[in-house]
């Protein structure tokens, strides 16, 4: 659950609503139904693919079509996910909540070279206005680091 949130930037409700049929562990693609019932695809990395595959195998057959199940075998709700993250955060000694993981995804994605349009798509934003909020979290150090690899003059041959 944590790996999916950190690797994709999904909203908590989007994760809660994922169905088994929406997950392609071989290709590392998840079909997400976002806000406004807009569908998008999200990629998961190799480590998350492997963790998902192990979870699905251990989850076993169930009458429930949803990916994440609670101990009763029913869909894990948004509230259930939030509570699990809260408990995990307490164990780790800091406040942990779904939007923190979404924010961490967005900032790391930007720092690793994604442009604002890629972040907009990944997060399922309908406009760049919401995406700009994440961009405002970047600092001079981020710009300095990117400039080292993207400088027009330094890259002239």
pLDDT digits (tens, 9 = 90+) for 52-103: 999 999 987 888 999 999 999 999 999 999 999 999 999 999 999 999 999 9
Domain assignment present for residue 88? The answer is yes
Question: Could you tell me the pLDDT band of residue 137, with boundaries at 50, 70 and 90?
Answer: confident
Domain assignment present for residue 93? The answer is yes
- Cα distance between residue 11 and residue 32, in whole Å: 10
Given a cut of 90, is residue 133 above it in pLDDT?
A: no
Domain assignment present for residue 155? The answer is no
Domain assignment present for residue 156? The answer is no
Domain assignment present for residue 13? The answer is yes
Given a cut of 90, is residue 146 above it in pLDDT?
A: no
Question: Could you tell me the pLDDT band of residue 120, with boundaries at 50, 70 and 90?
Answer: very high
pLDDT at 60: 79
Domain assignment present for residue 115? The answer is yes
Q: How many CB atoms lie within 10 A of CB 106?
A: 23
Domain assignment present for residue 157? The answer is no
What is the extent of the structural domain holding 118?
2-150
Q: Which residues pair with 39 in a beta bridge?
A: 33
Work out the average pLDDT over 16-37: 93
Question: Could you tell me the pLDDT band of residue 2, with boundaries at 50, 70 and 90?
Answer: very high
User: Coil, strand, or helix at residue 51?
Assistant: helix
pLDDT at 118: 92
Contacting residues for 110 by C-beta, under 8 A, at least 6 apart: 116, 119, 134, 135, 138, 142
Catalytic residue annotation: 11, 35, 99, 102, 125, 134
How many folded domains does the chain comprise? Answer: 1
Domain assignment present for residue 26? The answer is yes
pLDDT at 31: 97
Q: What is the model's pTM? A: 0.85
33: enclosing H helix or E strand: strand 29-33
- Domain CATH for 68: 1.10.443.10
User: Whose CA is closest to 83, among 64, 68, 98?
Assistant: 98
């Amino acid at each position: 659950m944590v790996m999916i949130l950190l690797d994709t930037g999904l909203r908590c409700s989007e994760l809660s609503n994922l169905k088994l049929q929406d997950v392609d562990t071989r290709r590392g693609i998840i079909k997400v139904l976002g806000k406004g019932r807009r569908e998008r695809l999200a990629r998961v990395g190799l480590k998350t693919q492997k963790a998902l595959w192990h979870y699905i195998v251990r989850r076993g057959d169930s009458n429930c079509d949803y990916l994440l199940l609670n101990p009763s075998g029913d869909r894990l709700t948004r509230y259930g996910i939030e509570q699990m993250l809260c408990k995990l955060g307490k164990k780790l000694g800091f406040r942990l909540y779904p939007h923190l993981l979404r924010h961490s995804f967005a900032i790391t994605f930007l720092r690793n070279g994604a442009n604002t349009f890629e972040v907009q798509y990944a997060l399922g934003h309908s406009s760049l206005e919401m995406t700009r909020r994440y961009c405002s979290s970047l600092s001079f150090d981020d710009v300095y680091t990117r400039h080292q690899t993207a400088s027009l003059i330094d890259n002239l041959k």
